[in-house]
Amino acid sequence: MPKEDATELLSIDGREVRVSNPDKLYFSKQTKLSKLDLVRYYLSIAPGALGGIRDRPVVLKRYVNGAEGEAFYQKRAPAQRPSWLRTITLAFPSGRTAEEIVVDDAAGLAWIVNLGCIELHPHLVRAGDLDHPDELRVDLDPGPGVSWADVRTVALEVKSLLDEMGLRGWPKTSGSRGIHINVRIHPRWTFDEVRRAALALSRAVERRAPTLATSKWWKEERHGVFLDYNQNAKDRTTCSAYSVRPVPDARVSAPLHWREVPNCEPSDFTVLTIPKRFAEIGDPHEGIDAAAGSLEKLLELAAQDEAAGLGDAPWPPHFRKTESEPRRVAPSRAKSVGNKSVAKAPRTKMPLIVVANSPSKEAALSGLERWKSKHAEVAELLAADDVLVDSMRGRSSSWTRIRINLRHVPEELRPLNETPDPDDDPTREWRKMHASKKTI
């Protein structure tokens, strides 16, 4: 049989799943793992992984060339799929709809992993009610140079606040540099209300730990650990429990007990260690579905913020602008508003330059190193959080933009904003076309 036609036929709870190219390496640098190894990993912890995705529409983030290749997002279910695999139609803020996969069992889990879904990306809702989330997600995203100890400290501050709000948080490592905290809620509130509650939570934690935490959307205004409230907007997804992340050691987004958070290390949780841990201690998130709570206290907190003059915060760019949302433009790019008086204190514009755009993160980082070599004197003056590595999400794929904040560089030493190297923004043509349609 030719190697490219090789398949492995698995029988899973009475259903057959074919794994194509089972020996294809999906991790090859630090850890050697084939596609079949990944399928077997997910089957070994299937009850835990299904706890995060069962009965939820799933976005397929596909790494068809393995973890070291580029990924693309596929919302629509493949036309060729097993008859026993469920789908459901979702409507998005853009007005478009898509028929998405719903995974109910281990066979369905294995089937989407065979498509190259190294990570699992479920929506906030269940298939039975697509308008009311049953989960609030707290995403702790550390900025450059932020220590893991600080991330853990902020996570414990989140727990303290949730306890006061009568809610139970379920922590897990993100599988990268952060921590996720999932909060089951009764499906009574809309997406906008859940996001409003998440924003209130983020602002409250920032007030409690002002030197460690931030709720600021624009990267140039952030410090420490960012609490990404926009992960609760409709159409947003994050990797769920037991997801494998595309990093060299095949790290896993690992569910934790709260008692483990103060001393845990993300590198302890990989494809090679999690199955043994699962077999020995079970799933730390078992019972999460029985712990649904109310958002009423968080929404009261949101109302207090609004009464104090805190309006909405920026949304992701493809969402419709809300009435109380501030201007949706980065402070460094904001233009003055004529002679109108502004009640709020003016934001400080940051001197930002773009040095690299590329679908390949490695290529973008190489461009950053070339920029640093060319401007060695300037590079020495930069703080860790002056280098902004942005993971940009396009229409169906992600790409990397790298910017430099020159705030710590004297004006006379600041280099000009040159053409980025590389300069391969995959959304540029689409944006030009979209802009031209607006002028017609």
Question: Per-10-residue mean pLDDT for the chain, 440 residues long?
Answer: 69 95 93 96 98 96 91 91 94 83 97 96 96 97 93 98 98 96 98 97 96 90 93 93 96 98 96 98 96 97 94 80 69 54 50 87 87 85 81 70 86 85 76 54
| CB-count exposure of residue 326 (10 Å: 0-12, 13-18, 19+) | middle
pLDDT value of residue 340:
43
**Residue given tokens 């992984």 in the structure block:** 49
Give tens-digit pLDDT for 26-42. Answer: 999 899 999 999 999 99
pLDDT value of residue 397:
65
> Which alpha helices (DSSP H) does 22-178 contain, by range?
35-44, 46-53, 106-114, 148-164
pTM: 0.79
What crossing angle do the helices spanning 46-53 and 106-114 adopt, rounded to 10°?
A: 80
pLDDT value of residue 91:
87
Tokens of 329: 């433009």
| CB-count exposure of residue 253 (10 Å: 0-12, 13-18, 19+) | buried
Tokens of 231: 């992960």
pLDDT value of residue 222:
87
pLDDT value of residue 89:
95
pLDDT value of residue 2:
44
Q: State the Cα–Cα distance between residues 115 and 137, nearest whole angstrom.
A: 26
Rg (C-alpha) for the chain, rounded Å, is 22
Q: State the Cα–Cα distance between residues 173 and 151, nearest whole angstrom.
A: 10
**Cβ contacts of residue 276 below 8 Å, gap of 6+?**
none
Q: List beta partners, residue 358.
A: 400
Tokens of 168: 């139970």
